[in-house]
Amino acid sequence: MDEMTFKEMMERLERITATLEKEDLELEEGLRLFEEGVGLIREARQRLAAASAKVEKLIGSLEEGLATEGFELEEPGQP
Amino acid sequence: MAGVYNVPIMGISEKERVYTVGEVNRLADGLLQGLVLWVEGEVSNLRPYPNYSFFSLSDEDASISCIIFRDALAGMDCELREGMSLLVRGRLGIYVRRGQFRLNVLEARESGEGRLRKEFLLLMRKLAAEGLFDEALKRPLPAYPDTVGLITSLEGAAVRDVVINLTRRFPGARLLIRGVRVQGEEAVGDIVAALDLFNRAQAAEVLILARGGGSLEDLRPFNSEEVARAIRASSIPVVTGVGHEPDITLSDLAADFRASTPTGAAEAVVPSREEVIGLLRQKELAMASGLRHALHRLERRLGAQMARRPLSDPAMLVNQAAQRLADAEAELVSAGRMSLERRERALETADLALARFPREYRALPLRVEEGARKLTASLKVWLRWRGAELPLRARELESAMADMISRGEGRLRLAGSRLDALSPLAVLARGYAIVTREGETRPLTDSAAVGVGDGLDIRLHRGRIRGEVREVRPREEGSETR
């Protein structure tokens, strides 16, 4: 999967803004970075709009093999 | 249902009395005769209420339930705490409704550090001396973790608090839970194994070790040397969220970050959605401002060029290209002239040769003419060869210039359309004007360039104004602004 992680997107954005703030930036380069940055921001916003984070249970052991399975909270009410 | 049964049931004879539960409890209570005594032990399982508090008093091998009422509490010289050693005077009795044996504490005072607390302090000092809790060892938490590992009991409030808060806050992360026992004999082993598992599998970027509130006794695993060391040994940063206990645990001290509750731990490991959205907005603004500065620099460069050369727009570049083309053409033309001269000379030579030929060779001029034609043709070939570079270069130059101009224009258009508010033209919208002498296109930058009576053309954001110079003031030193 070539998709960037959220961290990678934020790091790339950080570098883009840092470059855009440099004195000797050429307009052409600036426009290219601006375009890339706007795309990243759009993607990041989309991901943040997702319903919620994925929750899983880590089961098994390294020796016998690790696996994950879905985790659902029990109904509230018990202490 | 007190009473004597006439019919024996289940082997109870008529003479034996059947008691009610309440009677039994009251009987037991009576047998204790309200015995008042002094006893010393460690406080645990403290449950305070407005008018009284419950707690257990224990030593190595036994434990007794206690109740202390407000009056007795008020008479104490210190607060009741988990784990403290307490000397109490109390009346023994049975709480009839539950049949519970307990001590009604009449007065109490602290009797030195509790055993657990002593152990805790000793261990804390030892580990601190080893440097296990050094601030310098604490690692920063990843800003946007992809996977968060959670080590806690799969039941209860802690897992619930972390799951709900983490998933709500930041949908960009995945939460991977490893269920462990958090109290009892096996808890230490479970927690250490879970920390080790996440580390060996590198299954998360940050770990939360969480537990709901509890007494010092309940928190024992979190105060164990093994867990504290495993936390410090973890290559993955660890955040503790051990709930509601005002006292810090050794796990908290060893962790990279200590949150006071499971909810706090979830908040510590992931940013909130709103926070990130705000940050994205900031980045957007920073990018726009960076680009605006780049545009302003271009504007200034163009301005500087306009000041150097009397050309005010991309037409300058076209003119330059045209000029170079003209030069190249002139060179070609001169090369062409040379060819004519040579041809003339060649024809002259031919004529002379022709003149020298005897009459009988009169038929020969045709051949001479042919020779001259051949010579002319080869001259043309030579010229074309020699001159070929020139028009080629001129054409290259021309197309390069055209490219440059259209690229420049394209870029400006793009910038203008996308960043309307940021485009150089918006400078006019902010109240600036371009002033030129009437009939000229070059903006005025020096009052010395005009004289009284000269017509002025003033270009505003909307529309133009015609004006006339009434007075010319030379530049005053120091009054120049940027």
| ipTM value for the complex | 0.83
CB-neighbour burial class of residue A74 (10 A; exposed 0-12, middle 13-18, buried 19+): exposed
Interface test with A, best of B283, B302, B407 (most A CBs within 10 A): B283
Picking from B146, B178, B286, the nearest residue to A20 by CB comes out as B286
Residue A5 DSSP code: P
Average pLDDT for A21-36 = 74
**Is B171 in contact with A52 (CB distance < 8 Å)?**
yes
Contact check, Cβ <8 Å, A31/B157: no
Picking from A27, A50, A56, the nearest residue to B294 by CB comes out as A27
Residue with the larger pLDDT of the pair B393 and B163 = B163
Give the H or E element holding residue A15.
Answer: helix A6-20
Measured in angstroms, the CA of A34 and the nearest CA of chain B are apart by: 6
CB-neighbour burial class of residue B239 (10 A; exposed 0-12, middle 13-18, buried 19+): buried
- Give CATH for domain B117-271: 3.40.50.10550
Chain B residues inside the 8 Å CB shell of A71 = 163, 175, 177
Nearest-angstrom CA–CA distance, B205 and B174: 10
Contact check, Cβ <8 Å, B171/A55: no
Nearest-angstrom CA–CA distance, B44 and B81: 8
Amino acid at B107: E
Q: What is the pLDDT of residue B426?
A: 57
Contact check, Cβ <8 Å, A58/B178: yes
Q: What is the pLDDT of residue B359?
A: 38
Q: What is the pLDDT of residue B325?
A: 42
Contact check, Cβ <8 Å, A17/B294: no
Chain A residues inside the 8 Å CB shell of B291 = 20, 30-31, 34
- Confidence label for B459 from pLDDT (cuts 50, 70 and 90): confident
Average pLDDT for B227-251 = 89
Measured in angstroms, the CA of A22 and the nearest CA of chain B are apart by: 8
Q: What is the pLDDT of residue B63?
A: 93
Picking from A23, A50, A62, the nearest residue to B201 by CB comes out as A62
CATH class of B21-112: mainly beta
Q: What is the pLDDT of residue B6?
A: 55
Beta bridge partners of B89: B38, B107
User: Residue B371 — φ and ψ, nearest 5°?
Assistant: -60, -45
Whether pLDDT at B53 is above 90 = yes
Task: Encode pLDDT of B362-377 as tens digits.
Answer: 333 344 344 434 434 4
CA nearest to A22 within chain B: B290
Measured in angstroms, the CA of B153 and the nearest CA of chain A are apart by: 11
- Beta strands at B238-242 and B206-211: parallel, antiparallel or unpaired: parallel
Whether pLDDT at B237 is above 80 = yes
For residue B296, give Cα distances in angstroms to B2, B266, B299, B434, B441: 100, 45, 5, 16, 21
Number of CB atoms found within 10 A of residue B31's CB: 9
Whether pLDDT at B14 is above 50 = yes
Six token digits for residue A76: 């509230």
- Residue B244's closest CA among B266, B226, B219? B219
Measured in angstroms, the CA of B296 and the nearest CA of chain A are apart by: 10
Kindly report the three-state secondary structure assignment for every residue of chain B: CCECCCCCCCCCCCCCCECCHHHHHHHHHHHHCCCEEEEEEEEEEEEECCCEEEEEEECCCCEEEEEEEHHHHHCCCCCCCCCCEEEEEEEEEEECCCCEEEEEEEEEEECCCCHHHHHHHHHHHHHHHHCCCCHHHCCCCCCCCCEEEEEECCCCHHHHHHHHHHHHHCCCCEEEEEECCCCCCCHHHHHHHHHHHHHHHCCCCEEEEEECCCCCCCCHHHHCHHHHHHHHHCCCCEEEEECCCCCCCHHHHHCCEEECCHHHHHHHHCCCHHHHHHHHHHHHHHHHHHHHHHHHHHHHHHHHHHHHCCCCCHHHHHHHHHHHHHHHHHHHHHHHHHHHHHHHHHHHHHHHHHHHCCHHHHHCHHHHHHHHHHHHHHHHHHHHHHHCHHHHHHHHHHHHHHHHHHHHHHHHHHHHHHCHHHCCCHHHHCCCCEEEECCCCCECCCHHHCCCCCEEEEECCCCEEEEECCCCCCCCCCCCCC
Give the H or E element holding residue A56.
Answer: strand A54-61
Contact check, Cβ <8 Å, B170/A66: no
Contact check, Cβ <8 Å, A48/B155: no
Q: Which of B15-19, B195-199, B303-307, B362-366 has the lowest mean pLDDT?
A: B362-366
Task: Encode pLDDT of B160-192 as tens digits.
Answer: 999 999 988 888 889 999 999 998 889 999 999
Average pLDDT for B9-34 = 82
Residues 6+ apart with CB under 8 A from B149: A58, B176, B177, B178, B198, B203, B204, B206, B207, B208, B236
- Residue B386's closest CA among B347, B334, B346? B334
For residue B278, give Cα distances in angstroms to A35, A64, B268, B273: 19, 45, 18, 9
Average pLDDT for B52-57 = 94
Question: What is the C-alpha R_g of chain B?
Answer: 50
Contact check, Cβ <8 Å, B178/A57: yes
Chain B residues inside the 8 Å CB shell of A7 = 142-146
Domains in chain A: boundaries = 6-70
Chain B residues inside the 8 Å CB shell of A73 = 159-160, 163-164
CA nearest to B280 within chain A: A41
Average pLDDT for B276-290 = 81
CA nearest to A54 within chain B: B174
Amino acid at B266: A
Chain B residues inside the 8 Å CB shell of A22 = 290
Q: What is the pLDDT of residue B281?
A: 81
Six token digits for residue B161: 């608090």
Q: What is the pLDDT of residue B411?
A: 52
**Is B146 in contact with A7 (CB distance < 8 Å)?**
yes
Task: Encode pLDDT of B104-113 as tens digits.
Answer: 999 988 775 5
Q: What is the pLDDT of residue B403?
A: 54
User: What letters, b where the CB count within 10 A reaches 16 and e where it falls short, cover B145-181?
Assistant: bebbbbbbbbebbbbbbbbbbbbebbbbbbbbbbbbe
Average pLDDT for A46-75 = 82
CB-neighbour burial class of residue B49 (10 A; exposed 0-12, middle 13-18, buried 19+): exposed
Q: What percent of chain B has pLDDT over 90?
A: 34
Average pLDDT for B379-404 = 42
Chain B residues inside the 8 Å CB shell of A55 = 163, 167, 174-175, 177
The torsion of the CA quartet B402, B408, B410, B415, rounded to 10 degrees, works out to: 180
Six token digits for residue A64: 């016998």
Chain A residues inside the 8 Å CB shell of B156 = 78-79
Chain A residues inside the 8 Å CB shell of B173 = 6, 53
Contact check, Cβ <8 Å, B197/A26: no
- Confidence label for B438 from pLDDT (cuts 50, 70 and 90): confident
Task: Encode pLDDT of B309-358 as tens digits.
Answer: 544 444 444 444 445 444 444 444 444 444 445 444 444 444 444 344 33
CA atoms within 13 A on the CB side of B290: 28
For residue B100, give Cα distances in angstroms to A60, B42, B106, B409, B420: 43, 20, 18, 91, 80
Interface test with B, best of A1, A3, A4, A6 (most B CBs within 10 A): A6
